[in-house]
Amino acid sequence: MSTLEIRDLHVTVDTEQGTKEILRGVTLTINSGETHAIMGPNGSGKSTLAYSIAGHPKYTITSGTVTLDGEDVLEMSVDERARAGLFLAMQYPVEVPGVTVSNFLRTAKTAIDGEAPKLRTWVKDLKQSMADLKMDPAVSDRGVNEGFSGGEKKRHEILQMELLKPKIAILDETDSGLDVDALRIVSEGVNRAKEATGSGVLLITHYTRILRYIKPDFVHVFVDGRIAEQGGPELADRLEAEGYDRFQAAPAAATDEAATPANA
């Protein structure tokens, strides 16, 4: 049983116009086995939340805490966070030319487990997971994300989730760019991984369609750098019908443009 606890998280980025606050007090607790959906309009800060938890150097945490089972995540390096059990499936996975998928996966697995996987079971698991995700086995000899289609990239992210078995997985728009078949295959992969390891899942999405395949226990509406409303799966249905307009009315929309100058 693991718990990721985010408390009053404030995050800024440095832009050419100065420092801009993007997360403005996010509080959220995710336990093993739970699925939380975060839904929000473009630019509301969803990816910023995901990257901040993973430790991307571009983002500065100005206040708040993030702990995993009581351990201070913000003190950890990016790789330490992953080894502690956090996983981020990225919205835009990065190409690493010349590093083969099989080499990459084996290196990551070895790093996360602290020992090299047994060759025979590893090869079998890898084959099985790739087959489940309907990935071409030839992909393992290609460079990481090198020339992958959007759908291949997303499958590859979920393949990693299945193999690395994180305690808490953050999936940033894993549904974007997928057609219906791919969405179903990828969602089934997430569900399998969740079932096998009891991971807690933070599912970031713009649309409700992925929630037909991955059932959330909690839905959080994310607007302008903070959670505007929380509820159960029924909240997603409301968003589907009404959109985000209700949350973006007047003040929130107006501050959208307001970058805070560094010296303000």
Partner 1 sequence: MSLLANKPQSAEQPGHTDSAAAFVPDQSRAERKTSYAVADFPLPSGREEEWRFTPVDRLQALFADTAGTALRRDESLPQGVTVSTVSHEDWQGSGAPKPADRAAVVATAQAESVLVIDVPAEAELTEPVRLTLTGEGALSHGHTLVRVGNFAKATIVLRHEGDAQYSELLSVVVGDGADVTLVSVQEWDDTALHLGQHDVVVGRDAKVRHIAVTLGGGIVRLNTNASYAGPGGSFEGLGVYFADAGQHQEHRLFVDHEAPHCHSNVEYKGALQGETAHTVWVGDVLIRAAAEGTDTYELNRNLILTDGARADSVPNLEIETGEIAGAGHASATGRFDDQQLFYLQARGIDEDTARRLVVRGFFASIVGRIGVPEVEERLMEAIDRELEGVA
Ligand X SMILES: Nc1ncnc2c1ncn2[C@@H]1O[C@H](COP(=O)(O)OP(=O)(O)OP(=O)(O)O)[C@@H](O)[C@H]1O
Report the interface residues with Mg ion, using CB under 5 A.
46-47, 91
* Contact flag: residue 96 with partner 1 (CB under 8 A): yes
Point out which span in 15-23, 99-107, 118-126, 244-252 binds ligand X (CB under 6 A): 15-23
What three-state secondary structure class fits 32? coil
When binding is defined by CB under 6 A, the residue of 206, 229, 252, 260 that contacts ligand X is 206
Decide if residue 102 touches partner 1 (CB under 8 A).
no
196: contact with partner 1 by CB under 8 A: no
- Taking the CA atoms of 165, 46, 208 and 230 in sequence, report the sign of the dihedral they define: positive
Helix (H) or strand (E) holding 12: strand 3-15
What torsion, rounded to 10 degrees, do the Cα atoms 200, 206, 209, 213 define? Answer: -10
CB of 231 to partner 1, least distance (A): 30
The CA dihedral of 118, 122, 124, 126, to the nearest 10 degrees, is 180
CA pseudo-torsion sign 102, 106, 109, 111? negative
Q: How far is CA 254 from CA 14, 74, 243, 250, 259, in A?
A: 21, 31, 18, 6, 11
User: What distance, in Å, lies between the first and last C-alpha atoms of the chain?
Assistant: 44
Closest approach of Cβ 250 to partner 1, in Å? Answer: 37
When CB distances are held under 5 to 8 angstroms depending on the partner's kind, the choice from Mg ion, partner 1, ligand X, none that residue 79 binds is partner 1
Shortest distance in whole angstroms from residue 42 CB to ligand X? 4
Closest distance of CB 205 from ligand X, Å: 9
In whole angstroms, the minimum distance from the beta carbon of 54 to partner 1 comes to 5
DSSP per-residue codes, 125-145: HHHHHHHHTT--GGGGGSEET
Q: Which stretch binds ligand X (CB under 6 A): 45-53, 79-87, 115-123, 193-201?
A: 45-53
Is 58 an interacting residue with respect to ligand X (CB under 6 A)? yes
* 44: contact with ligand X by CB under 6 A: yes
The one segment of 26-34, 41-49, 143-151, 238-246 that binds ligand X by CB under 6 A: 41-49
Residue number with the shortest CB distance to Mg ion?
47
Candidate residues 39, 90, 201, 202; the one interacting with partner 1 per rule CB under 8 A: 90
User: CB of 183 within 8 A of CB of 209?
Assistant: yes
